[in-house]
Homo-oligomer: A and B are copies of this chain.
Amino acid sequence: MRLAVVGAGAVGRAVVDLAASYDHEVVAVADSSSAVVAPAGETLDPDTVLRRKADTGAVGDDVPEAALDAEYDVLVEATPTTLDDAEPGYGHAVAALERDRHVVLANKGPVAERYDALRAAEDDSAGRVLFEATVGGAIPAVTTIDDLGPAHVTAVRGVLNGTANFVLTRMAAEGLGYEHVLAEAQDLGVAEADPSFDVEGTDAALKCVILANVLYGGGYTLADAEVEGISGLPGEALSLAAEDGMTVRLVGSVEDGDIRVGPRLVPEHGTLAVSGTRNIVQIETDHAGRLNISGRGAGGPETATAVLADVGRLSRPTGSR
């Protein structure tokens, strides 16, 4: 498939880097200030694009919008997640659908905040929208729910933010306070300079909203989630939990139409107590019990792997290998 990659952060760059190893071609790349588009019938050399980005900060000389007009089969939308109107990601996705092209999202905004409108645009298009990369990085959560059939999934819960989980894991293991561990996480690059999106539960909540939209066929936005973060959690809470063989994780859940994210007591050696930056998704089914899927929940190549798995699904005929 010919890919146009919009967004040249860690995920977009990894998609450009890895596409050829999945037998796909990159014909356009855009970042926030520029774009590079291959001449008609040709493809871009990934190394050249990535080197230029590294050297100059811009992928090319065109205006960013030029990538949207390129001759691609799949638009990979990997600009940063934004809330409310989810722009510019939402507009990029709709522009592709209006041209009857497929869209693969790494950006959570369009499927968390404007799911119903996006699906309506998809219904009018020959293109499809896939978004496995938006929940749990490399973990195939959305696909597994789709394959089981949303009607057969009774609940989904999980640990969906690696930064918050890293902080909780370190607090429990070292008996350190929240502020201390957060500073350490920032030094290591695990937490952003402004960590609120992660530690206040917003990121995990967006992922749960996306799962709710998949489970219930739409209707949810971030405003529907009940969210509590971990920034107020005292170190003593973790010590007390440990005395009973428990620990604390930032758990998100979607069940009976409700979306909740907050710190929860979980067994120290239990399935939900993934450590460090790992994520886990638990899927409860009506006839097959509980499935647990854990893996790396973030990172450029990890998330790009999910993006390229979606591209693969779009490129294969029904039921083929």
Chain A residues at the B interface, C-beta cutoff of 8 Å: 14, 18, 21-22, 102, 128, 130, 137-140, 143-144, 146-149, 151-152, 269, 271, 285, 287-296, 299, 301-302, 304-306, 308-309, 312-321
Contact = CB atoms under 8 A, between A and B. Distances in A.
Contacts of A137: 288
A217 to B, nearest CB: 9
A272 to B, nearest CB: 12
10 contacts: A102-B319, A130-B319, A137-B288, A138-B288, A138-B291, A139-B291, A149-B312, A287-B304, A288-B302, A293-B293
A147 B143 contact: yes
A147 B295 contact: no
A296 B288 contact: yes
A294 B139 CA distance: 13
Contact of A318 (B294, B318, B321): B318
Given A102-B319, A140-B291, A318-B318, 14 more contacts: A14-B287, A137-B288, A138-B291, A140-B147, A143-B143, A147-B312, A149-B308, A149-B309, A288-B306, A289-B295, A290-B296, A292-B295, A314-B318, A317-B318
B285 A291 contact: no
Contacts of A306: 288
Nearest to A321: B146
A128 B321 CA distance: 8
Please give me the 10 A-B residue pairs with the lowest Cβ-Cβ distance, nearest first: A138-B288, A288-B305, A287-B301, A128-B319, A269-B269, A314-B319, A291-B295, A288-B302, A289-B296, A147-B309
A319 B314 CA distance: 5
Contacts of A287: 14, 18, 301-302, 304-305
A305 B319 contact: no
